[in-house]
Amino acid sequence: SYMLTQPPSVSVAPGKTARITCGGNNIGSKSVHWYQQKAGQAPVLVIYYDSDRPSGVPERFSGSNSGNTATLTISRVEAGDEADYYCQVWDSNSNQAVFGGGTKLTVL
């Protein structure tokens, strides 16, 4: 089945840019969605279809997808961005959603 690989952790200083990657075989041919999950809460969709933002998500959140890597970029990182982030695609071969293992974003 299709697999997505994320780095376990990313650290960034406030005001800087965080980039969280999601690797998969030819992931550029799939639509990638990103979720933010803060401690003790349900996940929240922050990016869908590679780079679209749901209403209410700050413009600081952006996404890209090409080749074997999709990237979630968070600009001007704030303390409130500290959370786990998950990428997700739909695997048409198995007809199921697939999630990456998650990346813990730490704001230094």
The one segment of 15-23, 27-35, 59-67, 75-83 that binds another protein by CB under 8 A? 27-35
Distance from C-alpha of 6 to C-alpha of 32, rounded to nearest angstrom: 13
Q: Which of 64, 60, 70, 61 is nearest to 51 (CA)?
A: 64
Tell the smallest beta-carbon distance from residue 49 to another protein (Å). 7
CB-based burial label for 22 (10 Å; 0-12, 13-18, 19+): buried
Task: Please identify, using beta-carbon distances, which residue of 31 and 68 lies nearer to another protein.
Answer: 31
Tell the smallest beta-carbon distance from residue 45 to another protein (Å). 5
Mark residues 31-70: x for contact with another protein by CB under 8 A, - for none: x-x-x------xxxx--xx----x----------------
The pair phi, psi for residue 28, each rounded to 5°, is -60, -20
Distance from C-alpha of 35 to C-alpha of 55, rounded to nearest angstrom: 14
Query: Would you count residue 28 as binding another protein (CB under 8 A)?
Result: no
Query: Would you count residue 100 as binding another protein (CB under 8 A)?
Result: yes
Q: Which amino acid is residue 35, in one-letter code?
A: Y
- Reading the block at residue 16, the tokens are 């800087």
Residue numbers of the site for another protein (CB under 8 A)? Answer: 1, 31, 33, 35, 42-45, 48-49, 54, 86, 88-90, 94-102
